[in-house]
Amino acid sequence: MRSLAVINQKGGVGKTTTAVNLAAALADHGCRVCVIDLDPQAHASLHLGLSVVSDQPSVYDILCGDATLADARCWIHENLAVVPSNLDLAAAEMELAGEVGREVILRDKLEADTEQFDYLILDCPPSLGVLTLNALTSVNEVFLPLQPHFLALHGLSKLLKTIEIVAKRLNPELHLSGVVLCMYESGTRLAAEVTRDVEEFLTLQSRDSGVWSGAKFFETRIRRNIRLAEAPSFGQSILEYAPTSNGADDYRQLALEVIGLPIGCGDAGTPSTEACKLEAHRV
């Protein structure tokens, strides 16, 4: 199983959009995918049509109570499951402040889970607190959605430093494996300049043996698309809401890159289960 944390401490860069629609695209290709919503705003849950009621277990009950992942897991369709969040999760930071081993609670719950998936995708909150630390100690890979804007680059070094510290002290398997550009406008000079700067940075870092040395700059660019902004209000992924849109096409192509298949191979709806499983278990 490949486990991915989609993270960026700056909001509004396409983090949840990428987590949800990449998961949906991977599931569409025959992979079994589980999304864990670690953001108290519960945007990933809402994006997939889930609204947690008071008596329904959520990520909060997993981290701060005795609930298991199986107790909270909801199936969207045959290949896609979600462990939802709600606003109660905002209290987890304070409730877990004095808890011994609070950074590895989710990791322990995942190790006890018996459900088999090809991909585990964690949607992290836009902060570097205990919820994000739980994500980073539970996964092997970090995906970084990045808007091609100079303000979006602000704080990037702090995020990479956090990943490095967690890898050193808590999770030696952790590494930054992919950077994906979101809300991309190919005709602008700014997008081209930021893209070049990030590519140069990753090329420079690849010479070292740090946690980002093997990071891939995905060829797929997630173009700015109004359908991507509309889909959450209908509780659907972009593949369900607007399957012929640029946004749906972009996330299908990104899923192909993640799986390890050539971009553009096969039809969007053609299952590639075996290729998906081989790649998920290879990494």
- Rounded to whole angstroms, how far apart are CA atoms 151 and 142? 21
Q: What is the per-residue pLDDT across 205-262, written as a single tens digit (0 to 9) for each?
A: 666 657 767 778 898 999 989 999 999 999 999 999 999 999 999 999 999 999 987 6
pLDDT tens for residues 120-133?
Answer: 999 999 888 899 99
135-162 as b/e: b if 16+ CB within 10 A: bbbbbbbbbbbbbbbeebbeebeebbeb
Q: Please report, in tens digits, the pLDDT of each residue of the chain (283 residues total).
A: 999 999 987 777 889 999 999 999 999 999 999 999 999 999 999 999 998 777 889 999 999 999 999 999 999 999 999 999 988 898 988 898 888 899 999 999 999 999 999 999 999 998 888 999 999 999 999 999 988 776 666 667 778 888 889 999 999 999 888 889 888 877 677 777 777 777 777 676 666 657 767 778 898 999 989 999 999 999 999 999 999 999 999 999 999 999 987 666 555 444 455 555 555 554 4
Report all structural domains of the chain as residue ranges with CATH numbers, in order of start: 2-282 (3.40.50.300)
Predicted model pTM: 0.88
Taking alpha carbons only, the member of 122, 197, 126, 121 closest to residue 158 is: 126
